[in-house]
Structure 1
Amino acid sequence: MKLPAFFIAHGSPVLALEDNEYTRFLERLGQDLGTPRGIVVFSAHWDSPEQLITVDAQHETQHDFYGFPEEMYSLTYPAPGDPALSSRISELFNQSNLPHQPVLGRGLDHGVWVILKKMFPQADIPVVALSVDSLRSPEEQYTIGRMLAPLREEGILLLGSGGLVHNLRMLKQDDQPESWAQEFDAWIAKGLESWDLPSLFAYEKKAPHVRDAVPSYGREHFVPLFYIMGTADAGRQAQLMIQAYQYGTLSLNCWMVD
């Protein structure tokens, strides 16, 4: 069965410890999806000018953050890798002449394991992590995602992990969203629901409040959206599954594309 693909906001790492509307949604989503043959994640926390692919048979857990509760540093997500799946991804990239490199021993960053710990807590499904390149054009990012579309018909769940509104310098003490964050999310939602690629690809010029929603230092959190959209180029359908906010300026949403 062809699996849908998803853009999932990972918010703050403490999401791994929280029990709220959004984390319960992720738990239900994982249950609804059953047991994919493998999971491939484009992570905002692996930003590289070269396309990189994990090739480990077993992953370590990265604690790539600081200043959080001590409990965070004891959390693990010991998911296996899948070298055969990594090779399949390499094959698809080769077919489109995309330069790429295997990476051994990197481990899973929190952009990957925080959401997977909620969705698939047993950590028994093979995971392959992929880098993003925040300096590529949206068209290029979309095209790279499209290269991996065949995996959706091979039992592989494709995810993009990031955050559409992700401004760490404007965090609030409460979760009440800023109006500008809501307006930006609404503009993105309109573009996604109509699959308006010309507008979305030009989001840096057209989207309201884009400098606050996608600050120059945080573009890598937004771009997994384009990679994951590319995997659904054949169908071009998008559905908002949930919309919430964390600390006012971190958008917690999940978009399903098919």
Structure 2
Amino acid sequence: MKLPALFIAHGSPLLALEDNEYTRFLEKLGQELPKPKGVVVFSAHWDSSEQLFTSDERYETLHDFYGFPQEMYGLTYPAPGDPGLAARIAELFAEHNLPCRAVSGRGLDHGVWVILRRLFPEADIPVVALSVDSLRSPMEQYEIGRMLAPLREEGVLFIGSGGLVHNLRLMKEDDGPEEWALEFDAWIAERLEGWKLEELYHYDKLAPYAKEAVPSYGREHFIPLFYAMGTADSGRTAERMFQAYQYGTLSLNCWKLG
């Protein structure tokens, strides 16, 4: 059973509570996907120069945000881990001479559990979280994802969790998207649908309004796209399944990568 890879925007942590078009889409998507044997998430909220991955059997739920309604801090996502899958990930990285390290006791950050709580609310699918490195080149990030591609043949679902347009400093009160956000998303969509890697690798120089959409302080939200794409290198297809915006400068998009 070969599953697609996904890039999913995790938006505001409030998606864990909200009932809107996007949360309903994620819930429906989780019902329509074949049930994975495991889920591997590249999270924007775990940025490290060292390639890290979780190896726990059970996780704490990290509430790694502040200033939100108290109800948010009581939410949990008690998904199991999968030390066996973690070991397979370590093997594949070793085969490609990528230094890596297993981490236990970290818990699942909100880049992981907020979207999984919508996709798989029963929390009955094993999860392994992986760090990203915002200082690596997009090509390197893609290649790291490609190292793990064989796991898709073993029933593993890969998710890159972040946001293609993610500028917290330019947020506004309403959700109507800024024109520059629309232009950037459209540029990325065209290159994704054509799998134009060289252009995507140089998005920061070629894409309109790249500095606004992917500010220097927020690159970690964009790069999970490259990791997820790498796991889908054998198919090289991309379908945008959902597009909306929060606060004008956070794009809520979901891409299925084949």
Query: If the length of structure 2 is used for normalisation, what is the TM-score?
Result: 0.99
SS at match of 2:29: helix
Q: Look up the match of 1:170.
A: 170
Q: Which amino acid aligns with 2:36?
A: P
Once the 2 structures are TM-superposed, how far is the Cα of residue 30 of structure 1 from its aligned partner?
Answer: 0.4
Give the equivalent residue in structure 2 for 1:154. Answer: 154
Is contact 2:79-2:125 (8 Å) kept? yes
Deviations 1:108-131 (A, max 9, x none): 000000000000001110000000
Corresponding residue for 1:224? 224
CA distance in 2, matches of 1:174, 1:118: 23
Work out the CA distance in 2 between the residues paired with 1:3 and 1:133: 25
Structure 1 residue identity aligned to 2:147: M
Q: Write the mapping of 1:126-145 to structure 2, written as runs, cut at 5 A.
A: 126-145=126-145
TM-score when scaled to structure 1? 0.99
* 1:185 CA drift (Å): 0.2
How far apart, in 2, do the equivalents of 1:201 and 1:138 lie? 5
User: Aligned-pair distance for 1:166?
Assistant: 0.2
Matches within 5 A, 1:89-108: 89-108=89-108
Whether the 8 Å contact between 2:53 and 2:130 is mirrored in structure 1 is: yes
**2:28 counterpart residue number:** 28
Q: Which residue of 2 aligns with 1:242?
A: 242
Q: 3-state SS of the aligned residue for 1:123?
A: coil
Do the aligned partners of 2:199 and 2:206 also contact (CA within 8 Å) in 1? yes
Query: Corresponding residue for 2:6?
Result: 6
RMSD, aligned α-carbons: 0.5
> How far apart, in 1, do the equivalents of 2:120 and 2:235 lie?
26
Match of 1:181 in 2: 181
The residue type equivalent to 2:197 in the other structure is L
Cα deviation for residue 35 of structure 1 reads: 1.8
The alignment partner of 2:160 has SS state of strand
1:235 positional shift? 1.0
Shift of 1:34: 3.4
Whether the aligned pair in 1 keeps the contact of 2:3 and 2:34 (CA below 8 Å) is no
Letter in 2 for 1:3: L
Secondary structure of residue in 2 paired with 1:29: helix
Deviations 1:188-228 (A, max 9, x none): 00000010011000001001001110000000000000000
Deviations 1:40-75 (A, max 9, x none): 000000000000010000011000000001100000
> Which consecutive aligned stretches of 4+ in structure 1 deviate over 4 angstroms post-superposition?
none
CA-to-aligned-CA distance 1:237-256 (integer Å, 9 cap, x gap): 00000000011100000000
Match of 2:205 in 1: 205
- Between the two proteins, the alignment pairs up a number of residues equal to 258
User: Any gaps of 5 or more consecutive residues in structure 1?
Assistant: none
Structure 1 residue matching 2:240: 3-state secondary structure: strand
Rounded to whole Å, the distance in 2 between the matches of 1:71 and 1:112 is 18
Amino acid aligned to 1:81: G
Aligned partners of 1:221, 1:210: CA distance in 2, in Å? 13
Q: Distance in 1 between matches of 2:223 and 2:192?
A: 14
SS at match of 1:45: strand
* DSSP-derived class of the 2:124 partner: coil
**Given residue 122 of structure 2, which amino acid in structure 1 is its aligned partner?**
Q
Report SS of the residue matched to 1:159: strand
Q: Superposition pairs for residues 47-66 of structure 1, below 5 Å?
A: 47-66=47-66
Once the two structures are superposed, residues 58-102 of structure 1 have per-residue CA deviations (whole angstroms, 9 ceiling, x without a partner) of 011000000001100000001100000000000010110000001
Aligned residues: percent identity? 74
